[in-house]
Structure 1
């Protein structure tokens, strides 16, 4: 029995059918059957289907004796289906590569729900692709599977069959069938979603919904749009026969009225002279299925009262009002922007303030915050200011004056401060003046591709503009580097006339200066139980994914490891559970590093900082091939890791349970990694930068050798690890791996 039965009805689509069938048969998940239904098509569709069936045993051809329409053709395909799940695909659309594998993985993750809803993108004849605008309803965050009452927003999605995978025994048990007609998807989709006991979502484009040059059938001018009334009669008849679904009548009523108003108001849908008849039918349905107390949108008055001409007048008035408001807002913004630009130009002509410095960080504090503290300590005459972007108020250091981007004070500071320090950049309109000094700290040691190398990685680069990037680079005077690898990478991918200061990373200074008392205080503030082994879990963000999903089942991990372990989760999705402390919003990553006993990460740059602490690091590299393909990588991390490497969750649990995470082999790997990437991180990196940039000293203070550094020990280093709960049976020798 195959996992999927993909049902493809075909009628007058000979130009698109081969591409559709190829998109199914070329899927990386081959456990499928393709049921292609020739709906008595007058063109070559039937012959094409037979040709594919002769080449691939997974293709089941079905030929109907007479044309029956899309709904009955799908029913004929369902009668032949043997797969666990039914997937419907229109014959001019295509599945995206690896779509069925993603669907199969999500079904497994969510326990084989009745229905899985996935996303789509419209593909236009001119090459454009536009993702579903309501795709946010498909977020995978939260519990799964779920019931419709938990996520009623799914009813707002396009009511079609081809964005879902339905369990076949669920469909057969409830006798779901497609009716004939123009809008056959409506009385299928609503009952399926209302009846399903378990639903799940997949936030991934699995279908390319072709938009033909002359539009789809539903977009053509025809009296068949009147079929919509009969289909909604079927929907409400289904609900009336099942009292447990009565609570959904208000939402169905709202959707029905909105659908009628959309068809009526769309140009080119209804033939000339049929609008009055359509509106009368719509008004009759409004009265028949009306639910008292349901709030409707103003345009729904068209259906309620049947006021055709009044509706058009009101719509015109609303459009005029919206345009006036937009024009007023644009005028206000233009005047404000022009005023700020004039203010900035005036400030650029005033003398520089040699005793002023402005600092900014993309998120958190990082290197700019460490440098700001060093500026005030070593050059107390300098006044410092910190750029605080909306939502980052909690992460701003307490010492410097705060600046809000886009204000007059902000532009004054950028125009007249001698020192500008950032790990990303300032506004695109920044004009660095002669005499200003721009220190670019970057964001740690590069692992994934950066700078100009991102031109080859569009999924990771997103909307990066290389010309704008190089304009920024041309304004930099200094770029900080923590090691030779970073120096060589930055100078190649960010070519410019700046000077590289390979002095170490200022943000690691606190890791070297902290004491055991600091570690105890930080652990207490985070609520880490005394004697617990604290695992800091800090995975990298997957920038190519719109929805960040959990990569590990943290609850399962701590449950398997026992009560001695606690996880500090610094992830991109909310996490909860016993002995799991969510520190995603914590403003001080360095404090989390000090409070933990071991770092668990995948490809996050924090591993380079953490190595300086000389504490164990465990790398979870389950999707390394995917990450490297999307983001690129400067290092073969699994081949030269900073510690033990786990390829899956079970191996990760084994590494912790057996003690391999702190064994001698892990220590050897960490020592080699630390020697390569932490040569300067001795607690004086910020001091070196300030002495060179501000005080003008050309010789940096000497570096403390690695062997002589004494970073604060981990809390578990002072507790007997032998008491860590172990699974029954003999314990393997940890150093033999």
Structure 2
């Protein structure tokens, strides 16, 4: 009996079935069978081209989704069932991940919840909003009564993997053409659910004009859906209340955005209002403000008053928008005039403006350059651009400006040197006698710049014309190795000069001593003799929030008392709630996401565990073990795009599952001869120019005007001495 049956069902709408089956057939899937309930001739022909790797169950044209699902489930023999519509997709590697997860679930679990991507006819690979909810649930199985918020997950049956016995026990209730009803019913009927907070489904929305028109009965069915579901939750107060809130929200949204004919809209409003009044939980209070007014009018069935309220709100928003727009335009004109006046002043050769990570503070390559500048060229005055909320965190005495202020525009207009590891705003004018230094903030594994164009998940929201206009202002671009130099020239095609001097932020990996390492480990509470594992995953464009891809509590328990897990979330998630509140284990799991600088964390760590983060290239300078945890490599490579195959050129052992990672870290595999050889190859390629004197070379070349021949030469990698390892320092 296979662990998992993937049941693909439906017609080959717009030929999406072909790509779906190609992805499933792309690599062997142990413990998994694929059953295609093919509706219509085209789907049947497509499926049969993939036999015998898939089982084909031909069904006549017009067979409903519910009937096709049921037929496919009857043919399936797996312990778990994953229903996938023929028009949807499965990200590369996701089915293997699901099969591995269900194999480890206890028998009490009925439903496994997955994360998903969203795609439309014009875009693909967009994140869902479900990530934070799934992260909150963690990886332990739970009952819905204790976690009713899971009802707020997008109601897709494809993001619920069902235990086959559970499906058979509740087949009648789950067999419906209303997929959201089936998805919610699966949660309500399950004894316990578990979570796999990974991308394992692609919800592909077809262009509305390609779909049949929505009939009045389909509009009214929304109310019927929730009436039947609330019947299932009647004796469960917490669940009932959340489901009721979802019903009212969905009905109001459908009414406001459904584009219904007037007579249909009026009837829908009255049906929804009657249900909202009749099914309201005892003692339930409406929210305050406009939302409360909407709900009150809905329950009263006051259709005319609600329409008037909508019109008044639209008018009020229009007035507010006009006022805000006027204020913004006036403020922009004033700032523009100030900036333009400042541009007529002479450039100040003793003024340098520094910024890092979208004005987060003194950090990264700009910070290392500024420090060396104070030593070699103290006559040049540095001013940092820092947001108001981060200004309080600056080192004492740091001269800074806050974006948008008068002095901010003045220093940008008059500084001789502008240094950033991202880009300054589009409005910044490149003066002929000013020097723009782009330091970057990592070695590129993932596609960057114009190379993101073929990858919609990575490119969403990017204005490539504006990006290239910013790139054209660069005079210099800092690089740490030949690979990076070539990729920057490809990703940012312009006339800048590449400074093959190394990344200044990495100098510390050669200049730090034993005292420095002991001090930072003491600040982090790492006792001498304990192993520190730094876990630093990267951002994923196809996830809405940060979800640790490891069960950190379980990993910590397996690694034991002598290992501390330092967990570093990506800086993109600074504003999000930490998902690490639960898994802290008596000081053995430490959230260091807000700890700066990250270089100190690297100095403190005995081993780095990462996925596709550029931190691996920097950490390799220390010549310490690196382990890659790549559970979603195929999805990441497909949606984000990469410059080389990390699986073939990794800096150390690669784990595709948590169990493999645990095995590596609980044996000598993380630091054996094979790991050392892989790391040596990786270091030769990617630590090419980093030798501890990168900042000095940059300052002498850019700020002091020295030519290349007079700069300190890059020390061959075999002659460099990295900072001592923690065991050596102690």
TM-score, structure 1 as length reference: 0.80
CA distance in 1 between partners of 2:353 and 2:367 (Å): 11
Residue 356 (structure 2) pairs with residue 355 (structure 1) = no
Q: Tell me, what secondary structure is at the counterpart of 1:428?
A: coil
Shift of 1:270: 5.9
- Relative to structure 1, the CA distance from residue 22 to residue 373 in structure 2 (aligned partners, 3 Å threshold; closer, same or farther) is closer
Residue 714 (structure 2) pairs with residue 713 (structure 1) = no
User: What residue in structure 2 maps to residue 344 of structure 1?
Assistant: 339
Residue 597 (structure 2) pairs with residue 588 (structure 1) = yes
CA distance in 2 between partners of 1:490 and 1:22 (Å): 33
Q: Extract unaligned runs of 5+ from structure 1.
A: 39-44, 720-737
The answer to whether the Cα contact below 8 Å between 1:35 and 1:81 also exists between their aligned partners in 2 is no
The answer to whether the Cα contact below 8 Å between 1:106 and 1:202 also exists between their aligned partners in 2 is no
Residue 317 (structure 2) pairs with residue 322 (structure 1) = yes
User: What residue in structure 2 maps to residue 533 of structure 1?
Assistant: 531
CA distance in 1 between partners of 2:631 and 2:232 (Å): 46
Shift of 1:371: 0.9
CA distance in 2 between partners of 1:630 and 1:276 (Å): 43
1:635-673 deviation per Cα after TM superposition (whole angstroms, max 9, x unaligned): 665666555566665665555555455556655655565
- Relative to structure 1, the CA distance from residue 271 to residue 311 in structure 2 (aligned partners, 3 Å threshold; closer, same or farther) is closer
Residue 59 (structure 2) pairs with residue 59 (structure 1) = no
CA distance in 2 between partners of 1:262 and 1:634 (Å): 43
1:513-565 deviation per Cα after TM superposition (whole angstroms, max 9, x unaligned): 22211111111000101221223333444445445544455555554444333
Q: Tell me, what secondary structure is at the counterpart of 2:383?
A: strand
- Relative to structure 1, the CA distance from residue 109 to residue 177 in structure 2 (aligned partners, 3 Å threshold; closer, same or farther) is same
Q: How does 1:673-684 map to 2 (within 5 A)?
A: 673-674=682-683, 677-678=686-687, 680-684=689-693
1:18-69 deviation per Cα after TM superposition (whole angstroms, max 9, x unaligned): 7559846863456133446x8xxxxxx48976996897782345679xx998
Q: How does 1:521-600 map to 2 (within 5 A)?
A: 521-572=519-570, 574-575=579-580, 576-578=583-585, 579-600=588-609
Residue 190 (structure 2) pairs with residue 192 (structure 1) = no
Q: How does 1:540-689 map to 2 (within 5 A)?
A: 540-572=538-570, 574-575=579-580, 576-578=583-585, 579-620=588-629, 642=651, 652-653=661-662, 656-659=665-668, 661-662=670-671, 670=679, 673-674=682-683, 677-678=686-687, 680-689=689-698
1:655-698 deviation per Cα after TM superposition (whole angstroms, max 9, x unaligned): 55554555566556555654555465443322232233223333
User: What residue in structure 2 maps to residue 725 of structure 1?
Assistant: none
CA distance in 2 between partners of 1:664 and 1:230 (Å): 64
CA distance in 1 between partners of 2:268 and 2:629 (Å): 60
CA distance in 1 between partners of 2:131 and 2:549 (Å): 20
The answer to whether the Cα contact below 8 Å between 2:144 and 2:187 also exists between their aligned partners in 1 is yes
Residue 5 (structure 2) pairs with residue 4 (structure 1) = yes
The answer to whether the Cα contact below 8 Å between 2:149 and 2:242 also exists between their aligned partners in 1 is no
Q: Tell me, what secondary structure is at the counterpart of 2:138?
A: coil
Residue 703 (structure 2) pairs with residue 694 (structure 1) = yes
- Relative to structure 1, the CA distance from residue 349 to residue 548 in structure 2 (aligned partners, 3 Å threshold; closer, same or farther) is same
The answer to whether the Cα contact below 8 Å between 2:647 and 2:654 also exists between their aligned partners in 1 is yes
The answer to whether the Cα contact below 8 Å between 1:440 and 1:479 also exists between their aligned partners in 2 is yes
Q: Tell me, what secondary structure is at the counterpart of 1:166?
A: strand
- Relative to structure 1, the CA distance from residue 696 to residue 256 in structure 2 (aligned partners, 3 Å threshold; closer, same or farther) is closer
Deviates most, 429-438 or 278-287: 278-287
RMSD: 4.2
CA distance in 2 between partners of 1:595 and 1:654 (Å): 23
The answer to whether the Cα contact below 8 Å between 1:117 and 1:165 also exists between their aligned partners in 2 is yes
1:419-465 deviation per Cα after TM superposition (whole angstroms, max 9, x unaligned): 11111211111111122111221224444444444445555455544
Residue 289 (structure 2) pairs with residue 288 (structure 1) = no
Deviates most, 353-362 or 689-698: 689-698
The answer to whether the Cα contact below 8 Å between 2:480 and 2:503 also exists between their aligned partners in 1 is yes
Shift of 1:155: 3.3
CA distance in 2 between partners of 1:672 and 1:656 (Å): 21
CA distance in 1 between partners of 2:638 and 2:181 (Å): 43
User: What residue in structure 2 maps to residue 477 of structure 1?
Assistant: 475
Higher Cα Rg: structure 1 or 2? 1
1:344-375 deviation per Cα after TM superposition (whole angstroms, max 9, x unaligned): 11111112222211111126711100111122
User: What residue in structure 2 maps to residue 508 of structure 1?
Assistant: 506
Shift of 1:316: 1.1
- Relative to structure 1, the CA distance from residue 108 to residue 293 in structure 2 (aligned partners, 3 Å threshold; closer, same or farther) is same
The answer to whether the Cα contact below 8 Å between 1:75 and 1:178 also exists between their aligned partners in 2 is no
Q: Tell me, what secondary structure is at the counterpart of 2:341?
A: helix
Deviates most, 74-83 or 312-321: 74-83
1:240-285 deviation per Cα after TM superposition (whole angstroms, max 9, x unaligned): 4xx3x2443433444444455556566664673x766666555544
1:588-617 deviation per Cα after TM superposition (whole angstroms, max 9, x unaligned): 122112222333444433333334334444
Deviates most, 224-233 or 361-370: 224-233
Residue 154 (structure 2) pairs with residue 164 (structure 1) = no
Size of the aligned set, in residue pairs, is 696
CA distance in 2 between partners of 1:628 and 1:277 (Å): 49
Q: Tell me, what secondary structure is at the counterpart of 1:537?
A: strand
Shift of 1:162: 5.5
- Relative to structure 1, the CA distance from residue 48 to residue 510 in structure 2 (aligned partners, 3 Å threshold; closer, same or farther) is closer
- Relative to structure 1, the CA distance from residue 504 to residue 192 in structure 2 (aligned partners, 3 Å threshold; closer, same or farther) is closer
Shift of 1:492: 4.8
Deviates most, 151-160 or 563-572: 151-160
Shift of 1:105: 5.0
Shift of 1:149: 4.4
CA distance in 1 between partners of 2:484 and 2:519 (Å): 33
- Relative to structure 1, the CA distance from residue 284 to residue 483 in structure 2 (aligned partners, 3 Å threshold; closer, same or farther) is closer
Q: How does 1:487-506 map to 2 (within 5 A)?
A: 487-506=485-504
- Relative to structure 1, the CA distance from residue 561 to residue 223 in structure 2 (aligned partners, 3 Å threshold; closer, same or farther) is closer
CA distance in 2 between partners of 1:177 and 1:197 (Å): 15
User: What residue in structure 1 maps to residue 407 of structure 2?
Assistant: 409
TM-score, structure 2 as length reference: 0.81
CA distance in 1 between partners of 2:166 and 2:625 (Å): 49
